[in-house]
Amino acid sequence: MHIRCSIRSLKTIKNIRMKKIFILIFVLTSLFGMYASGQSLPPGTCGIVYTYDAAGNRTKQEYVINNSAFANIVDSQKIARLNESVNVLKVDVLYPNPTTGYFAVRLVKQLQNDLVTITDVSGRVILQRKENGNLLHYNFAQEPAGVYTLNITEGQQSISMKIMKR
């Protein structure tokens, strides 16, 4: 007993199998893609979740805190506003560093008659004065090359940064 199959019927069977395999792969990758793009975090964890548009550009950044089975999403802009409202003493930029003597410091919040001190590695005070505002300018070109420390004190808070002078 022989079954006659033409080349055409073999190609048709092969195409049907390929279609089934393709559909199966498509369904599986779609399901995995939905899970992966959801960027779900396990309970008791937290992390940053990014959202992208169709072109692949990042459109949103969120900080996700998953304390239970339900995730709490906190927008990064809300976190930034919260940091500002807490009044944390923080240097935004110190530039240029290394410096030849002149440098500027930009703070996140305004200083209000707060103490700024620059010392060398031996602890000798190079400059000490009360400052206001959030953009400060200094020039200690007359000092020798080395490592200096900028210390800003506001009430109980204090922040220190290293300055390299060439």
Predicted TM-score (pTM) above 0.85: no
Higher pLDDT, 48 or 116: 116
7 band by pLDDT with thresholds 50, 70 and 90 = low
Q: What percent of the chain has pLDDT over 90?
A: 23
Residue 61: the pLDDT is 75
Instruction: Identify the structural domains of the chain with CATH numbers, from first to last.
Output: 40-86 (no CATH), 88-165 (2.60.40.3080)
CA distance 33 to 83: 35
pLDDT digit string, tens, across residues 28-74: 665 554 444 455 666 667 777 777 777 777 777 777 776 654 445 55
Give the DSSP per-residue string, 61-127. EEEEEESSSSPEEEEHHHHHHHHHHHT---EEEEESSSBSSEEEEEEEEEEEEEEEEEEETT--EEE
- Would you give the end-to-end CA distance of the chain in angstroms? 95
The mean per-residue pLDDT over the stretch 118-125 comes to 93
Q: Can you read off the two tokens belonging to residue 32?
A: 């995995």
Asked whether the predicted pLDDT for residue 18 surpasses 90, the reply is no
Q: Looking at mean pLDDT, say which of 2-16, 62-76, 96-110 comes out highest.
A: 96-110
pLDDT digit string, tens, across residues 132-155: 988 999 998 999 999 999 999 988
Residue 6: the pLDDT is 57
Asked whether the predicted pLDDT for residue 1 surpasses 80, the reply is no
Asked whether the predicted pLDDT for residue 94 surpasses 70, the reply is yes
CA distance 93 to 88: 15
